[in-house]
Amino acid sequence: MTLPRSLQARLALSLGALLTVLWIAAASVTALILRHEMDEVFDSALQETAQRLLPLAVVDIVGRDEDGVTQHLGAIRSHDEFFTYIVRDAEGRILLQSHAADPAVFPAYDGPGFRRTATHRLFSDEAVQGTVRITVAEPLDHRADVAREIQMGLGLPLLVVVPLALLCIVLAVRASLAPLRRFRGQLEARTARDLSPVPGEGIPSEIAPVAVTLNGLLARLKATFEAERSFAANAAHELRTPLAGAIAQAQRLQTETRDPAAAARAGEIEATLKRLTRLSERLMQLARAEGGQLRLNHSADLRPIARIVVEDIARTCAPGRIVLTLPPAPVMSDLDPDAFGILCRNLVDNAVRHGAKTAPVEVTLTPGGQLIVANDGPVLPPETLTRLTARFERADASTDGSGLGLAIVAAIADRIDSPLVLRSPRPGAPSGFEASVTLPGADAGKAPGVAKPGQPG
């Protein structure tokens, strides 16, 4: 038999089965002991009956006028006669018998003491030098009926007690394993990025080492991830100064050289260094998105941040191309303003770089806290949408970009438990692309429930 996988079910089943077997065994042993004691009591009653009747029978027989006459005692009232008896003389003639006695049941007299036949238990005794002999018989069926009643009296309560005991065992096991269920629930409720220690108060000592080992593993994983994110952020930060110096040297070389070919190569070096600078900035943002605290204990209006980000991108990269729509009322959210700025900047920068150059980029922050960025352009097939949140993935390999923009947005959206929804074509249009994120702490829940796809980088 295969045991259930649940520890609670195993304990309840094993304890319940063991208790049931023990109680049945105890009831059986008790029944055997009671049967033995009952036989002793019945034998004592059988012997006492014979010894009480024998003197009375002697008096009755000795006072008779005629010898050898059988006398039947009449029944005073109808009743079950468990004990029957006959009184015989030395020649075996029946002198006296009870009204229900059957002479065929009584074997020939062979001395005082107990005897047993196939149907009866008998006791015999004698008086007057063996001339008056009495034999009292009790049907074995009577003893068997009494034994069955005793067994029923022992067994029937088990039908009530055993289920109640099993229920108590289940409840006791369930209560004892409650700390384990809480521990499991805390693990199940965690997100993939929550590596903090799991509280293990009240866990049984046999399971406590498992919790300690698990928390140690989580601590090592957290330290490893923190080291990776710290390395990426520090490396990107340390690259800023040498990259800026290298760009300045490339620009100086362009202005000082008189060789057109050298000036062109210096321009290519400058462009490459600028791309490397953007990549280092994206790596810093990715480290911030994956490792920093994104939710605060207070809320702030997100409209000024969206306005500053859009104006900065419009001034440096896309003059006159971005259309910003903000609600008149504040849009409150507990999302870290820096994280919202990173999210908004990457979505808008992605739309500017990959959208049609002649069409505007529409940026909308709804009163419900939904940020929507849409641009015109060719329709992206579903298989492209499903892979665009991967790092260093771009919808068009020929376009400029690091391939990290929407990966950063997806990381932030995942940590705030809000899916990044991508559509192509954009709603209400035959072409284009739209990305939307519902921000926490606002009147969320108004975004369409679309499964989380990939995104363009």
Write out pLDDT tens, residues 329-341. Answer: 999 998 888 888 8
pLDDT above 90: residue 237: no
Buried b (16+ CB within 10 A) or exposed e, 12-49: bbebbeebeeebeeeeeeebeebbeeeeeebeeebbeb
Q: Could you tell me the pTM of the whole model?
A: 0.48
Give CA–CA dist 383/432, Å, rounded: 16
Q: Using pLDDT thresholds of 50, 70 and 90, give the confidence band for residue 259.
A: confident
Query: Comparing C-alpha atoms, which of 164, 159, 113 is closest to residue 135?
Result: 113
* H-run or E-run covering 114: strand 113-116
Radius of gyration of the chain from its Cα atoms, rounded to whole angstroms: 50
Output 11 or 365, whichever has higher pLDDT.
Answer: 365
The model's pLDDT over 131-152, given as tens digits with 9 standing for 90+, comes to 889 999 999 998 888 888 887 8
The strand pair at 295-301 and 332-335 is best described as antiparallel
Lowest pLDDT segment from 28-32, 88-92, 233-237 = 233-237
Beta bridge partners of 127: 132
Distance CA 165, CA 172 (A): 10
Residue among 89, 85, 78 nearest 101 (CA): 85
